[in-house]
């Protein structure tokens, strides 16, 4: 897809998303197939062992469950679908589900760590191409993967997967989650993506893993707020080039920038601000059958094992409608730099209406960096 085609595609996607928000149509969804992963990343928000899944009183959704949900979601208006985990390719029925979802007409993206994508997987993706394969690159070498993910020699496998997918003209995007264990690799990771010729999106904010451990509100194996801001700024400088970076700094001073490393789905297509699609045109379904507005928060939720998709979607939209951010956040002069959302507030404080102090400090540091770099009085 060339630049002109990509802009047209995004314009159409944004138009559809804007209409879907207005009409509360579930245009995009995420199927979290399994929380099991072959990595043990220190900051992961969801990972569980196979034994923990087997001991779960709710049980993991089956192939038949997902196909039933997919059919009902399609009837309700879903077009865009993200398959994620854990590591989705570890789920035993991944290929059976994926190929049937392609036949249903969904535009599918996949989140994966890339380590299980071999020649056979590349061939199957070529036969039934997804819209995008998002591979998270956790480091620029095996040593970093060992330190952060607890796996040996995996960078080489991920590198082969990325190069094989690119050579097959499959749409690859690299994601990077920056933590204390891999921050030193940031420049090398960006250079790697540029060398491959693919886009890279870097997140320096790591959600507290409250779905994995409900006691971890406001805590994670992550950067300090000041480090979070500095590494985000460094990524933007390296990725965009000096002229665009200088404009970004000016935008911070003017009080309006894009969100600091969140997913595209967190951004309203109408004006680019955090007026979240979650619970208005998008949803998340967990591996054990809960529908939530967003995968980063355990509440609100409704049980898809006990009702139809349409009924669950109605319940989620109703619950989302009553969520409110803190009045302090809504009146803060940094709101369009910080971009608070209900998921961040909940993960940091335990309440959607709480004040996520971590993000306050991030936005303050970003403004400080912008003022110092452009020699503007604070």
| Alpha carbon distance 24, 319 (integer Å) | 13
Cβ pair 327, 334 in contact under 8 A? no
Q: Whose CA is closest to 159, among 178, 169, 172, 148?
A: 172
Digit-coded pLDDT (tens) for 66-111: 999 999 999 999 999 999 999 999 999 999 999 999 999 999 999 9
* Helical (H) or strand (E) element with 59: none
Burial of 175-206, coded b for 16+ CB within 10 Å and e otherwise, reads bbbbbebbbebbeebbebbeebebebbbbbbb
| DSSP collapsed to 3 states, 308-364 | CHHHHHHHHHHHHHCCCCCHHHHCCCCHHHHCCCHHHHHHHHCCCCCCCHHHHHHHH
Cβ pair 76, 51 in contact under 8 A? no
Residue ranges of alpha helices (H) inside the chain are 3-23, 50-55, 63-76, 94-103, 119-127, 142-149, 154-167, 186-196, 225-240, 242-254, 309-321, 327-330, 335-338, 342-349, 357-374
In 3-state terms, what secondary structure has residue 156? helix
Token pair in block for residue 252: 């911070």
Model pLDDT, residue 369: 95
Residue 265 sits at the vertex; the CA angle it makes with 40 and 257, to the nearest 5 degrees, is 100
* Domain regions of the chain by residue span: 3-112+204-323
Mean pLDDT by 10 residues, the chain (378 residues): 52 79 91 97 92 93 98 97 97 98 97 97 97 97 96 95 97 96 97 95 94 93 96 94 94 83 59 70 96 93 96 96 88 85 92 94 94 88
Q: Residue 167 phi/psi, 5° resolution? A: -65, -25
Model pLDDT, residue 15: 80
Terminal C-alpha separation, the chain: 43
Token pair in block for residue 254: 């003017």
Q: 54: how many CB neighbours lie within 10 A of its CB?
A: 10
Model pLDDT, residue 3: 46
- Tokens 């380590």, residue? 115
Q: In what order do the strands lie in the sheet with 290-292?
A: 199-203, 172-177, 132-136, 107-112, 80-84, 28-32, 282-285, 290-292, 302-303
């Amino acid at each position: 897809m060339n630049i002109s085609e990509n802009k047209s595609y995004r314009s159409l996607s944004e138009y559809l998303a804007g209409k879907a928000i207005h009409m509360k149509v579930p245009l995009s969804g995420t199927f979290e197939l399994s929380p099991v992963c072959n990595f043990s990343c220190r900051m992961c928000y969801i990972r569980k062992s196979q034994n923990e899944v087997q001991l779960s009183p709710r049980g993991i959704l089956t192939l038949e469950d997902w196909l039933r949900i997919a059919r009902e979601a399609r009837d309700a208006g879903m077009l865009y679908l993200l398959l994620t985990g854990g590591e989705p390719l570890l789920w035993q029925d991944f290929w059976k589900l994926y190929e049937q979802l392609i036949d249903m007409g969904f535009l599918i993206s996949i989140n994966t760590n890339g380590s299980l994508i071999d020649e056979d997987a590349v061939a199957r993706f070529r036969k039934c191409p997804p819209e995008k394969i998002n591979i998270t690159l956790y480091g620029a070498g095996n040593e970093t993967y060992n330190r952060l993910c607890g796996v040996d020699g995996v960078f080489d496998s991920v590198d082969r997967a990325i190069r094989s997918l690119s050579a097959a003209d499959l749409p690859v995007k690299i994601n990077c989650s920056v933590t204390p264990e891999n921050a030193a690799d940031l420049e090398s990771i960006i250079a790697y993506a540029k060398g491959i010729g693919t886009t890279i999106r870097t997140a320096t904010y790591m959600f507290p893993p409250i779905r994995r451990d409900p006691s971890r509100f406001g805590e994670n194996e992550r950067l300090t707020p000041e480090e979070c801001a500095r590494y985000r700024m460094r990524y933007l400088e390296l990725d965009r080039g000096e002229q665009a970076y200088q404009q970004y700094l000016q935008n911070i001073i003017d009080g309006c920038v894009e969100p600091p490393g969140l997913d595209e789905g967190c951004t309203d297509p109408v004006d680019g601000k955090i007026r979240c699609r979650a619970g208005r045109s998008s949803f998340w379904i967990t591996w054990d059958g809960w529908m939530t507005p967003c995968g980063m928060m355990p509440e609100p939720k409704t049980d898809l094992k006990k009702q139809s998709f349409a009924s669950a979607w109605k319940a989620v939209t109703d619950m989302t409608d009553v969520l409110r951010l803190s009045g302090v956040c809504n009146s803060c002069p940094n709101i369009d730099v910080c971009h608070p959302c209900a998921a961040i507030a909940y993960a940091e404080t335990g309440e959607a209406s709480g004040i996520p102090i971590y993000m306050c400090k991030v936005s303050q540091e970003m403004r400080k960096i912008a003022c110092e770099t452009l020699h503007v009085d604070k």
